Amino acid sequence: MIVSLLCFGGYFFAKDVSELDPPGWIPLVALMVYVVSFSVGYGPIPWLMMGEIFPGRIRGAAASVSTAFNWSCTFVVTKTFMDLQAALGAHGVFWLFAAVLLASTAFTFFFVPETRGKTLEDIERLYTGEVIVKKYFNMGILKIMSVYFLGNPSYSLPDPQRIPRLQPRQPQAHALSHIVKAQSFI
């Protein structure tokens, strides 16, 4: 989707700003790529995520609010498109949308947890902060903790000499420290 929006922006930049005559099939192909990639990518995600992230007791009401918000955002994009086009030019609007899409992709990659292979109950526990011990912690760590805290004689602690020690982190110089030193020298 990002590539197709960049192509749209490039096409309109070449046509309007540089006064070149780019081929007319470029926006058609970019539109087809955008529609197909939206249909298999970001299009169905809100509808799938609603069923996963909301607890069962509020799922119906929360899905209604999410749907209203989704369509409200669609209305805002549609309503402001012409104003943005007048302010930024056609190429600027598509490049702005590509930048927003890039930011949303980064947000999805870094902040939305993977739910593949988890039950709805596991996902609900994940979002509410409950700990699922047997799935999310190494059982070896739990055994060591049980020996340490409970004194369970059926387990033995590892040799303390073989446990790696964490070294304290060395303070790193600030990125602008050389500039400050240079200014203090002058």
Domains of the chain: 2-112 (1.20.1250.20), 114-158 (no CATH)
Q: CA-CA distance, 111 to 109, in Å (whole number)?
A: 6
pTM above 0.85, yes or no: no
Q: Across all residues in the chain, what is the average pLDDT? A: 76
Q: What is the mean pLDDT of each run of 10 residues along the chain (186 residues)?
A: 91 83 89 92 84 81 90 94 92 94 90 80 71 46 50 49 52 49 45
Say how far apart CA 114 and CA 167 lie, in whole Å: 32
Asked if residues 68 and 76 have their Cβ atoms less than 8 Å apart, the reply is no
pLDDT of residue 46: 82
Q: Give how far Cα 49 sits from Cα of 36, 40, 67, 69, 112, Å.
A: 20, 14, 12, 14, 10
CB atoms within 10 A of CB 153: 7
Mark out the alpha helices in 41-58 (DSSP H runs).
45-53
pLDDT in tens, 125-161: 776 665 444 444 444 555 555 544 454 444 444 555 5
